[in-house]
Amino acid sequence: MADLETFRSETRAWLEANCPPEMREPVRDDEDVYWGGRRATFKNDAQKAWFEACVAKGYTVPAWPKEYGGAGLSPAEAKVLREEMSRINARPPLSSFGIWMLGPALLQFGTEGQKQRFLNEIARGEIRWCQGYSEPGSGSDLVSLQTYGEDKGDHWVVNGQKIWTSYADQADWIFCLVRTDKNDKYKGITFMLYDMASEGVTTKPILLISGNSPFCETFFDNVKVPKSYGEDVPAYVGEVNRGWDVAKYLLGHEREMISGAGGGERSAAIGAMMKRHAAKLGDELDPVLRAELAMFDVDALAYTAMGEKFLDEIKVGKAHPAQPNMMKYVGTELNKRRHELMMAVGGSRSLEWESEDTGGGKPARGWLRTKANSIEGGTSEVMLNVISKRILDLPGA
Amino acid sequence: MPLYHNDDQAMLADTAAGFMAEEGNIAKQLRHWRDRNCKDGFGHGLWKQMAEMGFTGMLVDEADGGLGMGHVEAGIVLEEIGRNLTPSPFLTSSVLAATALKHGSDDVKGRYLPDLIAGDSVFAVAIDETAKHRPSRIATRAEKSGNGFKLSGTKSFVVQGGSADMIVVAARTSGSDDDVDGITLFAVPKDAAGISHDAVRLVDSSMATHTKFDGVELDGDAVIGEIDGGRAVLDAMLLAGRVGAAAEGVGVARGAMDMTVDYLKQRKQFGRLIGEFQALQHRASHLYSEVEIARAVTIKAQQLLDAGSQQADLMASVAKAKVAKTARLAVQEGVQMHGGIGMTDEYDIGLYMKRDRALAEFLGDAYFHANRVAELSGY
């Protein structure tokens, strides 16, 4: 414990010295988030300085081992760092699907050569990754995916189409589920890694109801994917035809992440904030709206306690392995309800789509964005299916 | 502190679960006493057994002969009471009254605690005066009279009031009905002259009274805590009681849910187990999620209360409201998914519905506590 307190005071001093004041302001727009990658540019010197300080310290991926670009922090130390960063509202120095998705998969399933190369690239923000999972015909039923990699000896030729590829138009590389055996549904998928600059890869952004385009359609037209990028660096994670194991592991990981298991803003009570918001608009809460806010706050605060319990139990292996599905289900449904209430409090002001007062329609666009929460990463209905089967053990589930 | 039971608490949970399932089960207690039209609505034999288990005095300080345990431990026992619908004076005597008595003089403690711990006494609490829980308004008056007081007024929903050897009464000793200050708590013995009970059987077969105090003369030593400064004792008692009632409600919800999920795995219609129907699977899974969350926030409230945290008050209301909503969902889904037999007295699921109704009302329902969450949060 004494060591942790020393670590806390050192961390506090380091953050004080290295996190510029601009990087302690709330994120206002997309440019405030640094994603890294070959084509990345910094919005300003503060963003650059903060990012570089974190890379040098291993703090873009603090819990990863030092040899892969991390800081090798223990879970308890990583928690202290999170707390200290949150205390000063420090922005994440680097956001990336490499950190959230591919990294954990490589740490679990990767070869030493893959870890040395890809994890270090991710930690230094050199390569921006995107995820190729869903296809137009394979959403909730992901395992039915059809994008096919034909075996040509030392390489595959990949043909097919992915959808909902986040920021594919800005990504450097893709981790992609590709069918390599048409005769085995589950054991016929390979988790491939390849360059988005390869010949035959095209992307097309999808315009969403929010007016934003964070997702793309991605097309593969005879894309040549080598089977290896050098000694001990295969172009696939795990084994050929066993990519579904990796995907399942990552889906679990993603559900944990989306569920906002740590609580945070997503699960916080909003009633008091909404009262102030209404007052700012020269209005007050209708009694029935206040009542709904109170009921929401009860659910949100209870969910926060559940998140805490879930994390505590995970640490000691007490949590049911299917529990992230429950967290994801409840957390996303709660977030949708939260934004419905925020829209109601905002009234006609929250309808404004482009006005300066609303930061370019933030309330409305944010509200619409939350509708995807209970679809992406496994729909609420799929989560309920998993709970039925794995926790309640209901027949035929 | 991690939000799960430590080894000692897990062991207590095993013990309590085994004991309540064996001795406190529905056939042996709830139905047994109900079918005999018992005027107490619970069994004194079981109360004595609970004393032997060490449950009755678990919240009483060790210096006063108790076990000096906390609300996590009391909650463990209450969850099993809820799961088995066990009628017992535990919540009113060992949680509410015991919490009030912590603030009493050595004399008051000595008069009541040994018999509570031994399972020889049963206590009740008299707080409500209208059909809804409104502890901010107390009209029952205790006027100074000689060296003591004269108590007048009527209390409602005094659970097990007719069986109680002593009733903790919240009365006004100064000010007007809605004042925060001017409250005093009294330990009123059952044989005091001027008390009359109108006993009523409630929907869940438990017994309660409308209790009238008609110039009941009390000695000064009946006072618990400070004269006119009883609001703090009342609040502490309510806080402990609400967290306890939430724990019992979690047990009711889990009991109803488990019974219903089992039924989904046995009942066949259209040539299939009804648990194969996705419409029911999703509802059961939603219920499971809510019950897990209700249990988590209840344990959170228990831990905060044991730690003496400022946050305990807010979290107690969050827990009471969340559990009330969740147990309501559990019993409604339970009866609906059981279909026709869910409406019969022979099946236990209906008993869960009745108990939930009474328990949720006790010490404030979901609306009362959601409103309280809003007030405590500043809106």
pLDDT at A140: 87
Q: Are A195 and A226 in contact (CB under 8 A)?
A: no
Q: What are phi and psi of A148, to 5 degrees?
A: -115, 135
Task: Note whether A220 and A290 are same-domain residues.
Answer: no
Looking at the complex, report in whole angstroms how far the Cα of residue B377 sits from the nearest Cα belonging to chain A: 6
Q: Is the model's pLDDT at A267 over the cut of 80?
A: no
Whether residue A391 lies within 8 A of chain B, CB to CB, comes out as yes
Q: What are phi and psi of B348, to 5 degrees?
A: -75, -20
Q: What is the pLDDT of residues A152-200, one digit of tens each?
A: 999 999 999 999 999 999 999 999 999 999 999 999 999 999 999 999 9
Clarify whether A25 is annotated catalytic. no
Tell me, yes or no, whether A219 lies in a domain: yes
pLDDT at A266: 53
Task: Note whether A237 and A267 are same-domain residues.
Answer: no
Selection from B97, B108, B122 nearest residue B64 by Cα: B108
Looking at the complex, report in whole angstroms how far the Cα of residue A326 sits from the nearest Cα belonging to chain B: 6
Which of A271, A318, A384 comes nearest B281 by C-beta? Answer: A384
Those residues with Cβ within 8 angstroms of residue B266's Cβ, 6 or more apart along the chain or in another chain: B273
Whether residue A364 lies within 8 A of chain B, CB to CB, comes out as no
Task: Note whether A314 and A285 are same-domain residues.
Answer: yes
Residue A387 identity: I
Helix (H, G, I), strand (E, B) or coil at B181: coil
**Burial of residue B66 (number of CB atoms within 10 Å: 0-12, 13-18, 19+):** buried
Q: How many domains does chain A have?
A: 3
Task: Note whether A231 and A277 are same-domain residues.
Answer: no
Looking at the complex, report in whole angstroms how far the Cα of residue B125 sits from the nearest Cα belonging to chain A: 27
Task: Note whether A343 and A271 are same-domain residues.
Answer: yes
Tell me, yes or no, whether A295 lies in a domain: yes
- The CA distance from A333 to A345, in Å, is 19
Q: Which whole number is the average pLDDT over A284-294?
A: 97
Mean pLDDT of chain B: 97
Whether residue A271 lies within 8 A of chain B, CB to CB, comes out as yes
Selection from A381, A121, A102, A74 nearest residue A249 by Cα: A102
The CATH number of residue A302's host domain is 1.20.140.10
The CATH number of residue A58's host domain is 1.10.540
The CATH number of residue A176's host domain is 2.40.110.10
Which of A305, A315, A397 comes nearest B296 by C-beta? Answer: A305
pLDDT band, very low/low/confident/very high, at A333 (cuts 50, 70, 90): very high
Contact B296 A309 (CB under 8 A): yes
Tell me, yes or no, whether A102 lies in a domain: no
Contact A308 B300 (CB under 8 A): yes
Last residue in a domain, options A95, A116, A149: A95
Which of A302, A306, A312 comes nearest B2 by C-beta? Answer: A312
Tell me, yes or no, whether A104 lies in a domain: no
Tell me, yes or no, whether A120 lies in a domain: no
Task: Note whether A51 and A134 are same-domain residues.
Answer: no
Selection from B241, B239, B92 nearest residue B166 by Cα: B92
Last residue in a domain, options A95, A121, A153: A95
Task: Note whether A298 and A374 are same-domain residues.
Answer: yes
Check A254, A256, A265, A376 and give the catalytic one.
A254
Count other Cβ atoms within 10 Å, centred on residue B11: 12
Range of the domain at A320: 259-391
Taking CA atoms, what residue in B is nearest to A279?
B379
pLDDT band, very low/low/confident/very high, at A261 (cuts 50, 70, 90): very low
Tell me, yes or no, whether A247 lies in a domain: no
Q: Is the model's pLDDT at A118 over the cut of 90?
A: yes
- The CA distance from B289 to A255, in Å, is 15
pLDDT at A75: 85
Looking at the complex, report in whole angstroms how far the Cα of residue A180 sits from the nearest Cα belonging to chain B: 33
How distant is the alpha carbon of residue A164 from its chain centre?
A: 13
Which of A294, A306, A383 comes nearest B374 by C-beta? Answer: A294
Tell me, yes or no, whether A311 lies in a domain: yes
Whether residue A317 lies within 8 A of chain B, CB to CB, comes out as no
Q: Are B168 and B179 in contact (CB under 8 A)?
A: no
Tell me, yes or no, whether A122 lies in a domain: no
Last residue in a domain, options A211, A242, A273: A242
Task: Note whether A284 and A312 are same-domain residues.
Answer: yes
The domains located in chain B, with CATH, are 7-121 (1.10.540.10), 125-228 (2.40.110.10), 232-377 (1.20.140.10)
Q: What is the pLDDT of residues A219-241, one digit of tens each?
A: 999 999 999 999 999 999 999 99
Task: Note whether A280 and A352 are same-domain residues.
Answer: yes
With vertex at residue B91, the alpha carbon angle to CA B86 and CA B93, rounded to the nearest 5 degrees, is 115
Task: Note whether A77 and A135 are same-domain residues.
Answer: no
Q: For chain A, what percent of residues have pLDDT higher than 70? A: 96
pLDDT at A262: 44
Contact A330 B370 (CB under 8 A): no
Residue position matching structure tokens 């040899």: A67
Task: Note whether A273 and A386 are same-domain residues.
Answer: yes
Task: Note whether A88 and A158 are same-domain residues.
Answer: no
- Contacting A with CB below 8 Å, chain B residues are 2-4, 261, 264-265, 272-273, 275-276, 278, 281-282, 284-286, 288-290, 292-294, 296-297, 299-300, 314-315, 318-319, 321-322, 325, 366-367, 369-371, 373-374, 377-379
